[in-house]
Homo-oligomer: A and B are copies of this chain.
């Protein structure tokens, strides 16, 4: 053996010993693995310690509200300087814990509703940001250098042994529990009810330390429901461009849609405009996305073979359960979503990502970060790039090859679909992203760009499509982009004399080049024009939340 020696004094079970020490403190409170509802604050004070890394479940839709409220009630003199790991900062108490001094640092992915306050608290030094991640990279770091000490998660039901049933909103729960449980962390799950027999087991009891019945069911928001009434004719025109000029042209069979009315318009045109082009069975067969209600007509018309979901959507439960040939469901009949797996599938297994943004510069860089708001990007950057580790080919992927080199590879389609102006007349195309200033103000190490221009293959506006992947250099790229940027500051740089060459080289297509008449882009083309229509399409299985009902 080498003359180096092992440190024989060192303990290798620090984490396990510390966990045992903490569990012993709550033994008198718990009945087996069940913590009484009213003891949760006391239990958290016993199970947490200053400086802990705490992963608090909160995706877009599903929030561990009982546990986050309880965390906000612990005594900051005892529990402080927590390092929070949260995919989404969604609720006021998520930030209150920083103001109260319970937590100090946060690593997160998305802060939509709280983005203004996050930026302010960062500026005031109340909160430190580790980094802003995509969902997938944040989950990844839970297994590397952000391993949690404690996980606070939400499930539908538990049995007394601690087995968990998450129901349709499985989402990120298994992932954050696995990271915590297998590194001697402490897993606490709030559940809506305790039952004798679970419909199915989503997380085995041997991964869970405590379950606690919440005072009320966890918060669940229908964030991905878009009312077709609000879809405009400009959006319908853009959707026609996408179907004709991208999906049909590149034979896109597997894809992800971002949320928003643009994507909803496409979904609602498949059974009408798409059908008239004879595209059923040829495009849009396999999806990774949340169960958007606006997909119902396409499903019912036989367009969709499979959908894997990040999460579920309130109101879609019965419809999903009745369509197991399309959705991933358990033997109990309800959806099994999985945010991590769906992000992996959306990154690697589909041919196209289509999303939208608030601002785009002349190089195609885009961001939803605008002045004063530090929103994060959720999953968009993960799906909105070309994964260089991909090695399998499809017709769509191969269709983006523009070189003759023997070592060339295909490319994922990354499409940005934007109107040239946002509501309130702010131009979408700008010389310089607001994100640059926001990044400087927040002293971020790099500008918070959502999708980088070099990853974008197509940009669609109401003016036409820029086929950026065909550009031979940065100048040509910019020429194609400004040609469809309308009368924005960027678009005004366009020289219309270039149009002939750009169209001939296939760098730009205007509606007429695709056989689309602007006057055909009518709301009558939508397969459903209202939430009520969607309910009808579903045969009454879709049950929209009250505030979407108008009839």
Contacts and interface: CB of A to CB of B under 8 A. Distances in A.
A66 interface: no
B145 A286 contact: yes
Interface in A289-307: 297, 300-302, 305-306
Tell me the number of copies of this protein: 2
B392 A383 contact: no
Contact of A2 (B4, B347, B533): B533
B206 A392 contact: no
A341 interface: yes
A42 to B, nearest CB: 24
A390 interface: yes
Contact of A446 (B138, B184, B349, B393): B393
Interface in A384-433: 384-393, 398, 406-410, 432-433
B330 A144 contact: no
B144 A286 contact: yes
Interface in A434-484: 436, 445-449, 452-453, 455
A14 B387 contact: no
A537 B6 contact: yes
A356 interface: no
A98 interface: no
A53 B40 CA distance: 48
A181 to B, nearest CB: 8
A349 B183 CA distance: 17
Contacts of A363: 407
A361 interface: yes
Contacts of A432: 406
A306 B175 CA distance: 18
A365 interface: yes
Contacts of A181: 330-331
Centre residue among A347, A452, A533 by max chain B CB count within 10 A: A347
A59 to B, nearest CB: 17
B393 A349 contact: no
Contact of A330 (B206, B328, B386, B391): B206
Contacts of A392: 107, 130-133, 137-138, 141
A261 interface: no
A237 B533 CA distance: 71
A324 interface: yes
Interface in A191-218: 200-207
Interface in A344-374: 344-345, 347-350, 361, 363, 365
Given A331-B206, A391-B132, A16 B324 contact: yes
Given A140-B345, A302-B7, A385-B389, A446 B533 contact: no
Contact of A6 (B130, B182, B300, B385): B300
Contacts of A529: 2
Nearest to A204: B201
Interface in A130-157: 130-134, 136-141, 143-145, 147
B389 A4 contact: no
Given A388-B452, A391-B131, A13 B145 contact: no
Nearest to A448: B391
Contacts of A532: 1
Given A10-B302, A300-B6, A389-B136, A349 B384 contact: no
19 contacts: A1-B536, A4-B297, A12-B326, A140-B344, A143-B308, A143-B342, A145-B254, A183-B306, A200-B204, A201-B204, A206-B330, A340-B344, A344-B344, A383-B389, A387-B389, A398-B445, A406-B432, A408-B447, A410-B446
Give the 8 A-B CB pairs with smallest separation, nearest first: A131-B392, A201-B204, A385-B388, A140-B349, A382-B389, A140-B348, A1-B536, A144-B349
Given A144-B308, A408-B446, 7 more contacts: A2-B527, A2-B529, A131-B393, A140-B348, A144-B254, A382-B389, A398-B445
